Structure 1
Amino acid sequence: TELVGYYSPKSGGDGVDRTVLVQELKRRLPDYMVPAYLEQLPAIPMTVSNKVDLRKLPKPTSARVAAGHAMIDPRNEDEKFLVDTLQDVLKFEDISIE
């Protein structure tokens, strides 16, 4: 389970620079609260009672937000096997042995 952050620019606004948004979230929040994905939507879907309609939120399609941790490549064949397997199962490109 991973966090996805959905955001929408104010009407008439230019939008938000995703890089600045990620940096600000990492500065203000602990690592475990920083979303793995940030999705910009034209408008946040709402229910009749003016709450976010979670069922209408799309699955993430943008690039994964980098965790900010150093990537450590596999050092031997066993670690290479584990990294390759995790990439296939989790559908993540960047997997560190840590």
Structure 2
Amino acid sequence: MNRGSKEAEIMDFLQERVFQPILSSPAASERLKQGVRLTITRMSQRDSAGMIHYFWSAIVGTERANSFAAQMRREGFERFEEAIDNFKARFEKPKTIKPAR
């Protein structure tokens, strides 16, 4: 991923707002940290359009995504849902959104 790229911009935004607060917290459960690392891996395998779609799919939510978001909230961390307004302002929403797998 090129550091000036749209992909890097998206990952930097999510790292700051969602991922790093969890990964750097001694209070975050290992299960939550593993989920964040998996999300980072999955997003890193996509181009910018795929990353944006993945973000929106996580918000639309499958049962698993909803469960993960609930765990983030229980542990006191910001979820994708809390970052949505800033994300929407910076990155264009796809026309069609399918739940992430």
Name the TM-score class by shorter chain: under 0.3
- TM normalised by structure 1 equals 0.26
Answer 1 or 2: higher relative contact order, Cα 8 Å, separation at least 6.
2
Structure with greater strand share of residues: 1
Choose 1 or 2 for highest CA Rg: 1
Structure with greater helix share of residues: 2
- TM normalised by structure 2 equals 0.25
